[in-house]
Amino acid sequence: MSTTSETTASGRSLTAETAPFWSDVDRHMVRYGPRFSPEIIVSAKGSRLRTDSGRELLDFTSGQMSSILGHSHPDIVATVSSQIATLDHTFSGMLSRPVVELARRLADTLPAPLEKTLLLTTGAESNEAAIRMAKLVTGRYEVVSFSRSWHGMTHAAAAATYSAGRRGYGPTAPGNLVLPTPDSFRPDFRTADGEFDWRRQLDHGFALVDAQSTGSLAACIVEPILSSGGVVDLPVGYLAALRDKCHERGMLLILDEAQTGLCRTGDWYAFERDGVVPDIITLSKTLGAGLPLAAVVTTAAIEEAANDAGFLFFTTHVSDPLVSAVGNTVLDVLIRDGLDTRAVELGERLRTGLRALQGRHGVVGDVRGRGLLQGVELVIPDDAAADPTTLDRLGGAVTTRCLDLGLHMNVVQLQGMGGIFRIAPPLTSTDADIDDGVAMLDQAIAEVAGESGLV
């Protein structure tokens, strides 16, 4: 490697070897969100990423919140190698044993009457299919979701997404209505004791929904823990009350468990804590452990009604055997290694470490979440009305410093929420991984807050 380097304003280290790569990036890559990381990733194993420059980064986001078994898990590697040499892809109307096996096994992990599965590729696609199914079965078209929701960038999923991506694209699908996000840290309704009054907020939200509805309410789609919306865990009891509001109006309740499903929260599914069974559940990220696999799971009655009405969701990679085999292996590893229990243990260790940071740093305003999906919200001490852009800059600076130290962190990359970190290490992380990550975050916060005069 060349010893002569230049660091650009974006943090890229330019050498004779890397300059052509970044030139190609600037010339040929479509930018699809926040700026690209300044590191060139060349390999990954377990909880560690390795860069072109030889650096090692601790991955505290499981890739795109997906790689719950870490990177290059040996069981996944073996399954991909074997399956791609045997049966990789089929015509969409054909079925194979890995597909049907995965559908059966997913039903075994879910409470009755959830037993019918459609296997797809991404979270947006699974949410698209679920919304399409709900509209067809109910004969209605209106869809309700949270004000800080993120359900994907395809048509119906994007229309139900309010946290970002709405401006500049023209009209969304008609009939999309919004509920206020039940954020306990920043409550908009309070009880006489000053606590978050989520029941009154929910009543108010549905009063607004009812006022705007044309009488065609089809479905409500929500995450049990809003992830991109700032790791907002629904209050205990909220989900049951929401289900009742939906069913009173003849709506289907769709739960998007893209990031919370399959043991990340310590339960197999986040909705289990509340004892609520949705009408439809969507899975994605964690199901493929980093590979493109998603699912829609619903009841036999809803599936039959959809089929009778002519449900159509014929896509190129529906029921693909390669990723379905991977999904079966993911279930194997989760069960064999007791990773639901491990997520509880590691989650407690992570939360204890983050709570300690909250005690040491005035800029850490809140720690929240479940299991290995935790959120840290930064604040400006003694300034409840701090400009959100200031928090965005603070979060960005801490993220950059973490990367310098060897920790890949994910600040919520949405305007006004850049002071909230999403922390989601792999379920296969070691105790040392958790401790190392917390230590690097501790150092980054201390240095950035100190430089900003916030300590």
Q: Are 89 and 161 in a shared domain?
A: yes
Q: Are 289 and 204 in a shared domain?
A: yes
| Start-end of H helices in 50-143 | 62-65, 74-84, 97-109, 123-138
- Backbone Cα Rg of the chain: 22
- Please provide residue 315's backbone torsions phi and psi, each rounded to the nearest 5 degrees: -120, 165
Which token pair is 163?
A: 């946290």
Within a domain: 68: yes
- Residue among 148, 146, 144 nearest 173 (CA): 144
Q: Among 292, 307, 336, identify where a domain stops.
A: 336
Domains identified in the chain, total number: 2
Q: Are 87 and 231 in a shared domain?
A: yes
Q: Are 226 and 277 in a shared domain?
A: yes
Q: Are 228 and 180 in a shared domain?
A: yes
Residue in this structure with the two tokens 């939360």, named with its chain if needed:
351
Cα dihedral value 316, 279, 303, 227, nearest 10: 0
In 237-339, DSSP assigns E strands to: 252-256, 280-283, 294-299
- Helix, strand, or coil here: 365? strand
Q: Are 313 and 408 in a shared domain?
A: no
Q: Among 271, 305, 336, identify where a domain stops.
A: 336
Within a domain: 166: yes
The residues, any chain, with a CB within 8 Å of residue 38's CB and separated by 6 or more, are: 8, 10, 11, 12, 13, 403
Q: Are 316 and 372 in a shared domain?
A: no
The residues, any chain, with a CB within 8 Å of residue 325's CB and separated by 6 or more, are: 79, 80, 82, 83, 98
Look up residue 215 and give its DSSP letter: S
Per-residue pLDDT, 3: 52
Within a domain: 193: yes
Cα dihedral value 271, 274, 278, 283, nearest 10: 0
Those residues of the chain that have pLDDT short of 70 are 1-5, 383-386, 413-414, 455
Q: Are 323 and 401 in a shared domain?
A: no
Per-residue pLDDT, 417: 73
Per-residue pLDDT, 36: 92
- Helix, strand, or coil here: 94? coil
Per-residue pLDDT, 4: 61
End-to-end CA distance of the chain: 40
Within a domain: 8: no
In 279-343, DSSP assigns E strands to: 280-283, 294-299
The residues, any chain, with a CB within 8 Å of residue 62's CB and separated by 6 or more, are: 68, 70, 290, 424, 425, 426
The residues, any chain, with a CB within 8 Å of residue 177's CB and separated by 6 or more, are: 142, 143, 144, 208, 209, 212, 213
Strands 217-222 and 252-256: parallel
147 Rama sector, left if φ>0, alpha if ψ -120 to 50, beta otherwise: alpha
Q: Any idea which residues carry the catalytic annotation?
A: 150, 223, 256, 259, 285, 422
Within a domain: 433: yes
Helix (H) or strand (E) holding 367: strand 364-370
- Residue among 156, 166, 275, 274 nearest 221 (CA): 156
CA–CA distance, 179 with 305 (Å, rounded to integer): 28
Look up residue 113 and give its DSSP letter: T
**What distance separates the 2 farthest-apart alpha carbons in the chain?**
68
| Domain CATH for 409 | 3.90.1150.10
In this prediction the pTM is 0.96
Within a domain: 24: no
Q: Which residues sit opposite 51 in a β-bridge?
A: 41
- Helix, strand, or coil here: 401? helix
Within a domain: 109: yes
| Domain CATH for 271 | 3.40.640.10
CA–CA distance, 443 with 285 (Å, rounded to integer): 30
Q: Among 287, 304, 336, identify where a domain stops.
A: 336
The answer to whether the beta carbons of residues 405 and 57 sit under 8 Å apart is no
Within a domain: 14: no
Which token pair is 199?
A: 């029941």
Q: Are 417 and 440 in a shared domain?
A: yes
Q: Are 309 and 437 in a shared domain?
A: no
Per-residue pLDDT, 33: 85
In terms of residue numbers, what domain contains 185?
75-336
Q: Are 329 and 427 in a shared domain?
A: no
The residues, any chain, with a CB within 8 Å of residue 327's CB and separated by 6 or more, are: 98, 102, 119, 287, 288, 293, 295
Q: Interhelix angle for 300-308 vs 123-138, to 10°?
A: 70
Per-residue pLDDT, 1: 42
Q: Are 272 and 417 in a shared domain?
A: no
CA–CA distance, 263 with 209 (Å, rounded to integer): 33
